[in-house]
Chain A
Amino acid sequence: GDSVTQMEGPVTLSEEAFLTINCTYTATGYPSLFWYVQYPGEGLQLLLKATKADDKGSNKGFEATYRKETTSFHLEKGSVQVSDSAVYFCALRDYGGSQGNLIFGKGTKLSVKP
C-alpha cells in the first residue's frame, strides 16, 4: 500500500542554520503531498502542499518540491528560528481520496537553539 518515509529525528540546529527534512513516498497513483507542523501540546497545522509533479509548496520560509522521478518531497528552510521548533509530518493523499484519509510519516522533531 501507499506509505511515507521521513528522516528520523530529533534534528537539532542552531538559529539561522539551513534545514532539510527528507521525505520519500510510495504510491500507486498520483498523490497529493503535504507537510504538517505540530507545536508542543497542539494539533497539526497544514504548512504547505503540492498536488502534482514539479509543484513547489511554500509558506513561512519553508519550501518543498514534488519530485516524481525520485518520489520525494523534502522540506527546506534557509534560516531557521527558535520558533520553528516543532514536529514536522510529511503526508500523502491517495489519488481520488479525501484529504482526510491522509497517510502520515512518523514525524521529525526539530529543535532550534539560540
Chain B
Amino acid sequence: DGGITQSPKYLFRKEGQNVTLSCEQNLNHDAMYWYRQDPGQGLRLIYYSQIVNDFQKGDIAEGYSVSREKKESFPLTVTSAQKNPTAFYLCASLRQGGNEKLFFGSGTQLSVL
C-alpha cells in the first residue's frame, strides 16, 4: 500500500544531543512537509520541500534542519539548539493537481530525558 512512514514512533533526546526523525513516502509526491504539534496548539509548519534538493523554512524552523536528497525521503534533525523539543512531529506529502490532497504519516513523539 502507498503511504508515508515515520520512524521511530517514540524518541528520547538527551541534553545537547541531535536526533533525526525519519519520513519516507512511496506515493511519488514531489512536495513534503514537517509539522510540529503541541497539545492545544494545532500544527505549525517547520520546513517544507517542493522538490528534490530544495527546501524552505516554515514558521518555526529555528533549531531544526532538513535534507531532501531523494524524492522518497525527507528527514528532520532536531538539533541541540532547539530548547523545547518535546512535541509530536508529523510529516506529510502533497498530491498535486486538480484534486490536491495532503497525506500525513502517523507521527513521532519526541521527549527530552
Q: Point out residues on A near B: beta carbons under 8 Å.
A: 4, 41-46, 89, 98-102, 104-107
Q: Is the CB of A99 within 8 A of B100?
A: yes
Q: Which residues of A contact B4 (CB under 8 A)?
A: 43
Q: Is the CB of A100 within 8 A of B92?
A: yes
Binding-face segment, B35-43, B65-73, B76-84: B35-43
User: How far, in whole Å, are A99 and B50 apart by their CA atoms in the complex?
Assistant: 12
Inter-chain residue pair count (beta carbon < 8 A): 54
Extra A-B contacts (8), CB below 8 Å, given A44-B104, A46-B101, A107-B40: A4-B42, A44-B43, A98-B100, A100-B48, A100-B102, A105-B42, A106-B40, A107-B42
Q: B94: CB under 8 A from chain A?
A: yes
Q: Which residues of B contact A99 (CB under 8 A)?
A: 94, 100-102
Q: Which residue of A lies closest to B104 (CB)?
A: A43
CB distance from B33 to the nearest CB of A (A): 5
For the complex of A and B, list the 3 residue pairs with the smallest distance between their C-beta atoms, beginning with the closest.
Answer: A43-B104, A104-B42, A106-B42
Residue from A43, A46, A101 in contact with B45 in the complex, judged by beta carbons closer than 8 Å: A101
Q: Is the CB of B107 within 8 A of A43?
A: yes
Q: Is the CB of A44 within 8 A of B90?
A: yes
Q: B31: CB under 8 A from chain A?
A: yes
Q: Which residues of A contact B90 (CB under 8 A)?
A: 43-44
User: How far, in whole Å, are A102 and B94 apart by their CA atoms in the complex?
Assistant: 11
Using A98-B31, A100-B94 as known contacts, say yes or no to A46 and B42 having CB atoms under 8 A apart: no
**Please, could you name 16 A-B residue pairs with CB atoms under 8 Å apart, sorted by A?**
A42-B107, A43-B90, A44-B43, A44-B92, A89-B42, A98-B31, A98-B48, A98-B94, A98-B96, A99-B102, A100-B33, A100-B92, A102-B45, A102-B102, A104-B43, A107-B40
